[in-house]
Amino acid sequence: MNDTYSFKSNYSVSNDINFIKFFNDVTETTAFDADILFLNRKTQELKKVNSIGGASSKMLFNINKKNFPKKKKDISMPERLLPQLQKALAEEIQTYVLKKNPNSLSISFQKIIDNNMEISNCQIWKKVLHFFKKPIPNKYNTTLEFRNSEEFFECLMQFSMTYLQKEFKEHMENVVSKNLKLAKRGGRPGNEYLIEGFLNVIRLKCYYDVHDDIFGSHPIWQVIFHAFRIGDYELVGRCVEKISNQESYKKIIDILKRSKENIKLSKDEVNDLKVEYDEEISKSRDPYKKAVYSVFLNKEVNEVNDNLENWIWSKLVSVYVLKDEGKSKLVELQKLIKEECGENYFVDDQRNYTRYFGVLWLTGQFEAAIDILYRGEYLIEATHIAILCHEAEFLIILPNLSDDILLPCNYLKEYLYGLNFPKLIIYYMQRFEESDILSFIAYGQFLKNFETSSSENLFGVCVSRVLCDNDVQRDEILGYLNEDGTVTEGILHRYGNVCATEVILQTAKDLNFQGKRIESIKLYTLIHDIDTATKILCELLGSTIISKGRNRSIVLDFAVWFTRLFSKPEYKINDDEISSTLQLLIDLGTFFEYAQEKRNREAITYMQQFEILPQYIDSVQKAVDAYHTMTTEIRMILPDIVLAYVNCLVDQINDYNDENEKVFLKEMGQALFQYVGRISYKFPPHIHTKLLQLFGFFK
Q: What pLDDT sits at residue 293?
A: 95
User: pLDDT above 90 covers what percent of the chain?
Assistant: 60
| SS3 at position 481 | strand
Most confident stretch, 170-184, 378-392, 604-618, 652-666: 378-392
What average pLDDT does the structure give for the chain?
A: 85
**pLDDT surpassing 80 at residue 57:** no
Give the rounded distance of the alpha carbon of 535 from its chain centre. 38
DSSP string covering 247-295: GGGHHHHHHHHTTTS---B-HHHHHHHHHHIIIIITT-S-HHHHHHHHH
Compute the residue count for the chain: 699
**pLDDT surpassing 60 at residue 37:** no
Q: Which helix (H) or strand (E) holds 593?
A: helix 576-596
Q: Read off the pLDDT band of 208 (50, 70, 90).
A: low
Across the range 185-209, mean pLDDT stands at 82
Q: Tell me: the pLDDT tens digits for 629-657? A: 999 999 999 999 999 999 999 998 888 76
| Range scoring the smallest mean pLDDT among 62-71, 189-198, 474-483 | 62-71
Q: At what angle do helices 220-229 and 191-202 cross, to 10 degrees?
A: 120
The residue with greater pLDDT, 76 or 412, is: 412
Q: What pLDDT sits at residue 36?
A: 45
Q: What pLDDT sits at residue 170?
A: 95
Rounded to whole angstroms, the Cα distance separating 504 from 499 reads 9
Q: Cβ neighbours of residue 540 under 8 Å, at least 6 residues apart?
A: 517, 518, 521, 555
| Range scoring the smallest mean pLDDT among 126-130, 176-180, 411-415 | 411-415
- Give Cα separations from 551 to 36, 77, 286, 672 (angstroms): 84, 56, 93, 30
**pLDDT surpassing 60 at residue 75:** no
Q: Cβ neighbours of residue 261 under 8 Å, at least 6 residues apart?
A: none
Q: What pLDDT sits at residue 19?
A: 43
- Residue 90: closest CA among 478, 435, 488, 564: 435
Q: Which helix (H) or strand (E) holds 585?
A: helix 576-596
Q: Read off the pLDDT band of 205 (50, 70, 90).
A: low
Q: What pLDDT sits at residue 11?
A: 39
Rounded to whole angstroms, the Cα distance separating 467 from 641 reads 37
Evaluated on CA atoms 331, 335, 337, 343, the torsion sign reads positive
CA atoms within a 13 Å half-sphere pointing along the CA-CB vector of 174: 20
Q: Cβ neighbours of residue 106 under 8 Å, at least 6 residues apart?
A: 129, 132, 133, 388
Q: Measured in Å, how far apart are the chain's first and last C-alpha atoms?
A: 170
Across the range 583-603, mean pLDDT stands at 93
The residue with greater pLDDT, 699 or 374, is: 374
Q: Is 631 left (phi over 0), alpha (psi -120 to 50) or beta?
A: beta
Cα 150-151-155 angle, rounded to 5 deg: 120
Q: What pLDDT sits at residue 48?
A: 32
**pLDDT surpassing 50 at residue 44:** no
Q: Tell me: the pLDDT tens digits for 352-371? A: 899 999 999 999 999 999 99
Q: What pLDDT sits at residue 284?
A: 86
Q: What pLDDT sits at residue 28?
A: 53
Please check whether residue 458 is in contact with residue 502, taking contact to mean a CB–CB distance below 8 angstroms: no
- Residue 173: closest CA among 59, 43, 288, 314: 43
- Residue 507: closest CA among 462, 558, 547: 462
Cα 14-17-22 angle, rounded to 5 deg: 125
Q: Read off the pLDDT band of 206 (50, 70, 90).
A: low
Rounding to the nearest 10 degrees, give the CA dihedral for residues 275, 280, 282, 288: -110
**pLDDT surpassing 60 at residue 31:** no
Across the range 600-608, mean pLDDT stands at 92
Please check whether residue 42 is in contact with residue 190, taking contact to mean a CB–CB distance below 8 angstroms: no
The strand pairing partners of 479, in sequence order, are 489
| Range scoring the smallest mean pLDDT among 320-329, 410-419, 449-458 | 410-419
The single-letter DSSP state of residue 623 is: H
- Give Cα separations from 50 to 131, 158, 287 (angstroms): 22, 25, 30
Q: Cβ neighbours of residue 372 under 8 Å, at least 6 residues apart?
A: 343, 347, 353, 356, 357, 360
The residue with greater pLDDT, 114 or 56, is: 114
**pLDDT surpassing 90 at residue 137:** no
Rounded to whole angstroms, the Cα distance separating 215 from 47 reads 31
**pLDDT surpassing 70 at residue 7:** no
Q: What pLDDT sits at residue 14?
A: 46
Please check whether residue 509 is in contact with residue 454, taking contact to mean a CB–CB distance below 8 angstroms: no
Most confident stretch, 57-66, 106-115, 363-372, 613-622: 363-372
Rounded to whole angstroms, the Cα distance separating 294 from 292 reads 5
| Range scoring the smallest mean pLDDT among 30-39, 100-109, 216-225, 663-672 | 30-39
The strand pairing partners of 417, in sequence order, are 408
Q: Is 121 left (phi over 0), alpha (psi -120 to 50) or beta?
A: beta
| Number of helices followed by number of strands (H, E) in the chain | 36, 6
Rounded to whole angstroms, the Cα distance separating 605 from 612 reads 14
Q: What are residue 658's phi and psi, to 5 degrees?
A: -65, 115
**pLDDT surpassing 70 at residue 347:** yes
| SS3 at position 369 | helix
Rounded to whole angstroms, the Cα distance separating 406 from 337 reads 16
Rounded to whole angstroms, the Cα distance separating 253 from 289 reads 12
Q: Read off the pLDDT band of 81 (50, 70, 90).
A: low
The strand pairing partners of 406, in sequence order, are 419
Q: What pLDDT sits at residue 545?
A: 93
The residue with greater pLDDT, 184 or 129, is: 129
Q: Tell me: the pLDDT tens digits for 276-299? A: 999 988 888 889 999 999 999 999
- Give Cα separations from 555 to 288, 420, 483, 518, 540 (angstroms): 87, 44, 15, 8, 8
Q: Is 489 left (phi over 0), alpha (psi -120 to 50) or beta?
A: beta
How many other C-beta atoms can be found within 10 angstroms of the C-beta atom of residue 468? 19
Across the range 224-247, mean pLDDT stands at 92
Q: Cβ neighbours of residue 288 under 8 Å, at least 6 residues apart?
A: 204, 208, 219, 221, 222, 224, 225, 304
Across the range 392-413, mean pLDDT stands at 89
SS3 content of the chain, % helix, strand, coil (to 5): 70, 5, 30
- Give Cα separations from 233 to 130, 236, 240, 258, 436 (angstroms): 21, 5, 10, 9, 52
Q: Tell me: the pLDDT tens digits for 434-447? A: 889 999 999 999 99
**pLDDT surpassing 50 at residue 258:** yes
The residue with greater pLDDT, 552 or 77, is: 552
Q: Cβ neighbours of residue 245 under 8 Å, at least 6 residues apart?
A: none
Q: What pLDDT sits at residue 657?
A: 66
Q: Tell me: the pLDDT tens digits for 458-517? A: 999 999 999 998 888 999 999 999 999 999 999 998 887 778 898 999 999 999 999 999
SS (H, E, C) 382-417: HHHHHHHHHHCCCCCECCCCCCCCEEECCCCCCCCE
